[in-house]
Amino acid sequence: MEEQNPYTSPQSEIAQPTQGNAVFSNLDFKSLKKLYHRSCNVNAITFLLGLGFIFLLVASFLPVNEGEPSLRFVFIGLAVFYAMAIFGLFNRSSWGRILGIIVCIISLINIPVGTLIGIFGLFAFFGAPQLFGSDRVRHKDLKAEFKLQKSNRKK
């Protein structure tokens, strides 16, 4: 049985990455930074669509007057559509990107906040198609590579 010397410096068993991921080897820092920010934008749009989903659900269950036509079914339909888009965007599937684009186009009608969200989302979805689909770039890997290259640039 080997005894360890109590006076040696601690050794880490986790290998620290010194080189970047091979997926990002063809990207310069500026392109990587742009892709990382687009990925963050997709996360933000997904969160904002979640807030819109909650708003639509609440609006669909508000009481209406007897004589007025009810928009309840329109709100419930939009809420279901938003839920499908949120699920697809959360999983970063290719069909989620398409639903996200459609939801952003629909939100352009809601001036001024919806218009800003719609434009923000359209830039994110059209600007980074490599973030979606079966061979997508994962946000976690992109974030790690961005931080690694950013720290290497400071040295």
pLDDT in tens, 141-153: 888 888 888 888 7
Residue 152: C-alpha distances to residues 7, 66, 145 (Å): 32, 66, 10
- What pLDDT, on the 0 to 100 scale, is given for residue 136? 85
Calculate the CA 111 to chain-centre distance: 23
Does pLDDT of 54 surpass 80? yes
Does pLDDT of 18 surpass 50? no
Tens-place pLDDT, residues 60-72: 888 877 766 677 8
Does pLDDT of 74 surpass 60? yes
Tens-place pLDDT, residues 87-142: 999 999 999 999 999 999 988 998 888 899 899 999 989 988 888 888 888 888 88
- Which pTM was predicted? 0.75
- What pLDDT, on the 0 to 100 scale, is given for residue 11? 67
Cα 33 from Cα 40, distance rounded (Å): 11
Choice between 155 and 42, residue whose per-residue pLDDT is larger: 42
Query: How large is the average pLDDT for residues 40-66?
Result: 88
Highest mean pLDDT of the ranges 3-7, 53-57, 151-155: 53-57
Residue matched to tokens 């991921």: 21
Cα 66 from Cα 108, distance rounded (Å): 31
Does pLDDT of 4 surpass 80? no
Q: Name the pLDDT band for 75 (thresholds 50, 70, 90).
A: confident
Share of the chain above pLDDT 70, in %: 85
Cα 88 from Cα 108, distance rounded (Å): 20
